[in-house]
Amino acid sequence: NAGVTQTPKFQVLKTGQSMTLQCAQDMNHEYMSWYRQDPGMGLRLIHYSVGAGITDQGEVPNGYNVSRSTTEDFPLRLLSAAPSQTSVYFCASRRRLAGGGVGRTDTQYFGPGTRLTVL
Amino acid sequence: TQLLEQSPQFLSIQEGENLTVYCNSSSVFSSLQWYRQEPGEGPVLLVTVVTGGEVKKLKRLTFQFGDARKDSSLHITAAQPGDTGLYLCAGARGNFNKFYFGSGTKLNVKP
């Protein structure tokens, strides 16, 4: 049971380049999300998904795309990287209770992060 | 502007001292979580509080949710160097699909 895995661990891009940050979980969690962490800002939600085929925007979605074709994977795409997207990116997952509700005490598991630098 | 404000931002104390970290908001939250994060790693959940006035203890850590569910505190008794890390609070609103994080408190416990 690997939990939540993210690749790559480090990435340097030039402005305008595109890339995909990978996230996978093996806990059969319905809910997955992407956050970015900047100094002094805590974590901010970019996009989230409550199940395969369902995604929605978080606090800071501009410049990022997501899709969820399987329960296990939730990739984050940067179509045209900008220096403002330099950050540490974390993927997280948790289970979703039957009936659609999300348990208030469900544990959210985070991946180890991807450190992205855009020059 | 952050929905959740944490204070202090930085805290450096000696081993054995007590400390309290605060997480405040003008908004009401359905639940509030506290995480601890070490350098180069993702946050790890410490506790979730869901009821106004709720108090939870985890060994030397005591967590409290405000009566109005707008604020929370984390108290550490007799801090140890192993408590060093970044402490983050996160609140959920509405249907729990979105969590809003505070900016964090960086704690350094010196031996």
Asked if residues A79 and A65 have their Cβ atoms less than 8 Å apart, the reply is yes
Strand partners, A54: A51
Report the C-alpha dihedral over residues B11, B93, A94, B46, rounded to 10 degrees: 30
* Both tokens assigned to B49: 């509080």
pLDDT band, residue A40 (cuts 50/70/90): confident
pLDDT for residue B93: 79
pLDDT tens for chain B, 111 residues: list them.
678 999 999 999 999 999 999 999 999 998 899 999 999 999 999 998 888 999 999 999 999 999 999 999 999 999 999 999 999 999 987 667 788 999 999 999 999
C-alpha to C-alpha distance for A88 and B42, rounded to whole angstroms: 10
**Rounded mean pLDDT of chain A?**
91
Chain A interface test: which of B56, B58, B87, B103 (most A C-beta within 10 Å): B103
Please classify residue A92 by burial: count the beta carbons closer than 10 Å to its beta carbon, then call 0-12 exposed, 13-18 middle and 19+ buried.
buried
A105 pLDDT tier (thresholds 50, 70, 90): low
Q: B101 at the A interface (CB within 8 A)?
A: yes
pLDDT (0 to 100) of residue A97: 55
Contact B77, B83 (CB under 8 A): no
Pick from B64, B60, B106, B63: nearest CA to B80? B60
Within 8 A of B31 by CB-CB distance, chain A residues are 104-105
With CB atoms and an 8 Å threshold, state whether A104 touches B99. no
Residue type, A73: D
Using DSSP's 3-state secondary structure scheme, residue B82 falls into helix
pLDDT at A5: 96
A29 closest CA partner among A111, A98, A93: A93
Q: Determine the residue type at B110.
A: K
The 3-state DSSP class for residue B27 equals coil
Whether B44 sits inside 8 A of A110 (CB atoms) is yes
Residue A47: Cβ within 10 Å count: 22
**Burial class (CB within 10 angstroms; exposed 0-12, middle 13-18, buried 19+) of B34:** buried
Answer yes or no: are the C-beta atoms of A30 and A97 closer than 8 Å.
Answer: no
Residue A88 sits at the chain B interface (C-beta within 8 Å) = no
A39 touches chain B (CB under 8 A): no
The string of pLDDT tens digits covering residues A52-102 is 999 999 999 999 999 999 999 999 999 999 999 999 999 999 986 544 444
Q: What are phi and psi of B51, to 5 degrees?
A: -110, 135
Q: Do B31 and A110 touch (CB under 8 A)?
A: no
CB < 8 Å to B41, chain A: 112-113
For residue A94, which amino acid is it?
R
B residues 81-100 lying closer than 8 A (beta carbon) to A: 88, 90, 92, 95-100
Tell which wins on pLDDT, A116 or B95. A116
* CB-based contact, A112 to chain B, within 8 Å: yes
